């Protein structure tokens, strides 16, 4: 019986620590992500699956269509996606 009690307490402590650790970690990451420029997000996300095509490779209309597809593939929020593609459209 005593052993079970210790297990219960240990599990609770680990649980609480996990929540704190994950909580602080994700907040930092979200803040870091928010402060990133479109160019940074572009460099970090768009090369995960393929080389990043030059902004000059497509016109603004094409980039807007590509945004709809790649935003989902790259799992970017609306805000992040706007930063990336505003940067691309400003650079072509
Ligand atoms: C999870 C993988 C993945 C990520 C991340 C990704 N792409 Fe793609 N991308 C693809 C695949 C697969 C294709 C080809 C098939 C398609 O068009 O769906 C492609 C095609 C493209 C094309 C060519 C479209 C065409 O029809 O000529 C462009 C341009 C492009 N991606 C830009 C981007 C940009 C910019 C980002 C960053 C926001 C990005 N991709 C992120 C997987 C990805």
Going by alpha carbons, the residue nearest to atom 22 of ligand 1 is 66
Residues 6+ apart with CB under 8 A from 82: 38
Q: Sorting pLDDT into bands at 50, 70 and 90, what band is 26?
A: low
The first and second tokens of residue 70, run together, are: 């790649």
Range in 16-20, 33-37, 68-72 the model is least confident about: 16-20
Going by alpha carbons, the residue nearest to atom 5 of ligand 1 is 74
CA dihedral 63, 41, 28, 9 (to 10 degrees): 80
Give yes or no for residue 53 CB within 6 A of ligand 1: yes
Give the span between the Cα atoms of 63 and 60, in whole angstroms: 5
Between 25 and 48, the higher pLDDT residue: 48
Taking the CA atoms of the chain, what radius of gyration do you get in angstroms?
21
């Amino acid at each position: 019986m005593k052993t079970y009690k210790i297990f219960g307490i240990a599990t609770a402590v680990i649980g609480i620590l996990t929540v704190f650790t994950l909580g602080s970690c994700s907040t930092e990451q979200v803040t870091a992500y928010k402060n990133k420029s479109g160019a940074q997000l572009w460099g970090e996300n768009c090369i995960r699956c393929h080389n990043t095509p030059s902004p000059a490779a497509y016109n603004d209309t094409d980039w807007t269509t590509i945004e709809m597809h790649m935003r989902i593939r790259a799992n970017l929020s609306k805000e992040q996606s706007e930063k990336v593609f505003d940067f691309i459209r400003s650079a072509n």
